[in-house]
Amino acid sequence: MPLTRYLFLVLAIALLGSYASAQQPKPVASPTPAASPTPRPYDEDEKPVRVFTEEVRLPIVALDSYGHFDPTLVVDDVLVLEDGVPQQIRSIRHIPANVLLVLDTGGGDSLGVGGASKSTNLTRTVAADLVRQLPQGSWIEILQANSSSQVLQSWTKDKDAVLEALRKKLVGTKRARFSEAVVTASQQLKDRPEGSRHVVLITDGVDSPGGKVDRAEAMKQLVAARATVHIISYTEFVRQKTDNKTTDVTVGGGPRPTSTDPIRSTDPTQPPGQTRSPAFGIGIRFDPAMRKARKAYENEVRKSQQVLQEVAQETGGKMLLPLNSEQMIAQAGEVAQAIGSEYVVTYRPKRPLAEAQPGEYRKLEVASRRVGLNLQARRGYVVPTP
């Protein structure tokens, strides 16, 4: 074989071997297992992080210069100061109201003469008129306050169901546990959306003796529930009635005949009122225990009115003091209008809610930036606990 041809054949065989070797898959090296991370020891001093919705929902009523609802409120119209610091308003809107009616039907006969002025039938009529005038889409619940607290109708938008409960289930009792009902009302509001919570109290605010709940503590819990509280109060109505009552009633009274001149004092020939005295008279005196009970009730009514007034002002609600049943029925419409006229203003506090101390109270001031616009709002709020 010629040398040239032999060299060519050797070169071809070498090239074929190299190509075949290149086509064989190369073994993949197994990865070296990495060491597992060492768990960080639990720090016993570490506290769980509190999670807050960093938004305040503030109910505001907007009225024009004539006292009518203003439907044109916008963000630039409102200035909100929290503890003196201006806040950045994020939104203004209407949301469906959540209205809890607390109807006080207890204590009419057990509190003396004045207590009987609080009428279950009148309370029923006022509540029914209020329900009919609430905006459509409102959520409503009825809580009866007498010798105990009972939910007569749980949260519903069905006004007919609410009116039926008022007609069939509302009853009066001799004992009043109003403060206990206020605490129950605060609990009933916890799951309702903030900014739309309303409580309407139809009451004289007086408890029968022997209650286990302090009125001041009950009102504190109601304020902390961040609801707007409207009150249709019996206090002036009751005081008007008790002020007109007297402890002694005398009919046809006059001095009785005396033993010194029995003939002249009973002589029918003499002109009346000159030489004779009538021998008749009717005297009525209240039982001392009843008089004492009535006085105690009147004192409680005065104290109650002051407490209720403070709660209404603190929460931005209305305090109505009708003098008679006609005024009381008419004022149901005022409360319904106030509820329907409410906006909800939202803002993110510049001082985070997560930094608040338990039970911390923050003062609010709300002012109008537009001439002729009047704004009504609560004085402050208690920071909710997580």
CA distance 131 to 341: 15
Any domain includes 266: no
Any domain includes 188: yes
Which of 17, 231, 281, 263 is closest to 104 using CA atoms? 231
User: Is 34's pLDDT higher than 90?
Assistant: no
Taking residues 131-143, what's their average pLDDT?
96
174-218 residue pLDDT tens: 889 999 999 999 999 999 998 999 999 999 999 888 888 999 999
pLDDT of residue 239: 72
Any domain includes 278: no
Any domain includes 348: yes
**Are residues 89 and 345 in contact, defined by beta-carbon separation less than 8 angstroms?**
yes
User: Is 27's pLDDT higher than 90?
Assistant: no
Contacts of residue 335, defined as CB under 8 A and 6 or more positions apart, other chains included, come to 130, 200, 230, 232, 318, 320
pLDDT band for 39, please (50, 70, 90 cuts).
Answer: very low
**Tokens found for residue 60:** 């505001």
Q: How many CA atoms lie within 13 A of 224 on its CB side?
A: 17
Could you tell me which residue, 110 or 275, shows the higher pLDDT? 275
User: Is 25's pLDDT higher than 60?
Assistant: no
Q: Please report, rounded to a whole number, the percentage of residues in the chain having pLDDT higher than 90.
A: 55
CA distance 141 to 285: 45
pLDDT of residue 171: 93
Any domain includes 345: yes
Could you tell me which residue, 250 or 309, shows the higher pLDDT? 309
223-251 residue pLDDT tens: 999 999 999 999 887 777 665 554 444 44
pLDDT of residue 294: 76
Any domain includes 178: yes
The gap from C-alpha 352 to its chain's centroid, in whole angstroms, comes to 25
pLDDT band for 115, please (50, 70, 90 cuts).
Answer: very low
Any domain includes 92: yes
**Tokens found for residue 40:** 């960080």
CA distance 40 to 385: 30
CA distance 212 to 181: 12
Any domain includes 228: yes
pLDDT band for 7, please (50, 70, 90 cuts).
Answer: very low
pLDDT band for 292, please (50, 70, 90 cuts).
Answer: confident
User: Is 153's pLDDT higher than 90?
Assistant: yes
Q: Please state the three-class secondary structure of 172-232 as a single string.
A: CECCCCHHHHHHHHHHHCCCCCCCCEEEEEEECCCCCCCCCCCHHHHHHHHHHCCCEEEEE
pLDDT of residue 186: 96
**Tokens found for residue 230:** 């409207």
CA distance 75 to 369: 10
User: Is 328's pLDDT higher than 80?
Assistant: yes
339-376 residue pLDDT tens: 998 999 999 999 999 999 988 999 999 999 999 999 99
Determine whether 138 is exposed, middle or buried from the number of CB atoms within 10 Å of its CB (0-12, 13-18, 19+). Answer: buried
Please give the model's pTM, rounded to 2 decimal places: 0.73
pLDDT of residue 108: 62
pLDDT of residue 248: 45
Full residue range of the structural domain in which residue 175 is found: 56-243+287-382
Overall number of domains in the chain: 1
pLDDT of residue 5: 55
CATH number of domain containing 147? 3.40.50.410
